[in-house]
Structure 1
Amino acid sequence: MRILGLSGNLRAASAHTALLHAAAQTAPAGVEMTVFDGLGRLPHFNPDIEDQEIASAPP
């Protein structure tokens, strides 16, 4: 069985992402789990980038 893990929280210290990585490392035999880390390259999904853009926007 193959599982793809996606975390909806893209912050660097996300507990959700850490949990996905722990699940991938402890997956039982016969289970292959991959954690997808590409969502952060889509700026409109990244709250850290959105916060920076709002803070740097002219008044």
Structure 2
Amino acid sequence: MDKQVVKLLEDIKKLMILQIMKGSNPSTSDEIGEVLGVTGRAIRNVATTTKKKVKKNKK
């Protein structure tokens, strides 16, 4: 694959994770998960653990 395409896919993945971290509904993360080839539950788990780490760092 072209390097630009790979970079674009990575950027899209980051944006999707950020969107889920904002607290979108579970069905959205399931749909995004289908696109990325993982379960929506896995994405939500990553999003929530990342959220917790960010909160800890702010204290």
Structure 1 length-normalised TM: 0.30
Point out the structure with the larger helix share: 2
Point out the structure with the larger strand share: 1
Higher Rg of the two aligned structures: 1
Structure ranking higher on relative contact order (CA contacts 8 Å, 6+ apart): 1
Structure 2 length-normalised TM: 0.30
